[in-house]
């Protein structure tokens, strides 16, 4: 079984994913970390050097490589699920879980983060809020295709696991 965690940046996909994998005794796989490892750079540096279009091509290749993983929790980048081909792949190859966050919750996490995501660099707080609001609204059409939606702000992996058991996912 493959569990794909999808949702906006800062929604906790990596943190909850790693903890959920431990609880399930599954492998944990982070698509952004796989890109960084393969290309010996960070996602922001890759983005800045080659642009978003090149990043999305590499991201799709990494996502498609997950079809060989068994018993894995896969943390995807915030935009990974946000095109028809990728969301279709995710839905066909595992169970998708949307880690849902409000704009206010995302903004709280951005304020506390030491890393600024590439698409938020060089923006004021007001511009970041506007960008996050618009982009989240655009992406919801993809995120909402997940059969499981989980409110992720201040959630624990144990709570997520309990929800998955309740919904007969695991």
pLDDT at 114: 81
Assess if residue 166 is contained within a domain.
Answer: no
Residues of the chain with pLDDT under 50: none
Would 165 be classed as within a structural domain? no
Q: What is the CATH number of the domain that holds 14?
A: 3.40.50.300
Position 26 in a domain: yes
Assign 154 to helix, strand or coil.
coil
Q: What is the CA radius of gyration of the chain?
A: 15
Residues 7-34 pLDDT 10s: 999 999 999 999 999 999 999 999 999 9
Question: Does residue 163 lie within any of the structural domains?
Answer: no
């Amino acid at each position: 079984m493959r569990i794909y965690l999808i949702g906006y940046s800062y929604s906790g996909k990596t943190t909850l994913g790693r903890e959920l994998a431990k609880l399930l005794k599954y492998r944990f796989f982070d698509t952004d970390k796989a890109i960084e490892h393969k290309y010996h750079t960070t996602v922001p540096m890759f983005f800045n050097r080659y642009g978003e279009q090149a990043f999305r091509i590499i991201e799709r290749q990494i996502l498609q490589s997950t079809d060989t993983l068994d018993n894995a929790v896969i943390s995807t980048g915030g935009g990974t699920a946000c095109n028809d081909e990728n969301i279709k792949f995710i839905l066909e190859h595992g169970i998708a879980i949307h880690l849902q966050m409000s704009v206010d919750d995302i903004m709280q996490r951005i304020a506390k983060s030491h890393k600024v995501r590439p698409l938020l660099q060089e923006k004021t707080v007001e511009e970041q809020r506007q960008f996050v609001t618009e982009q989240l609204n655009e992406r919801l059409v993809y995120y909402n295709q997940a059969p499981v939606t989980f409110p992720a702000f201040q959630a624990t992996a144990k709570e997520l696991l309990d929800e998955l058991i309740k919904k007969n996912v695991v």
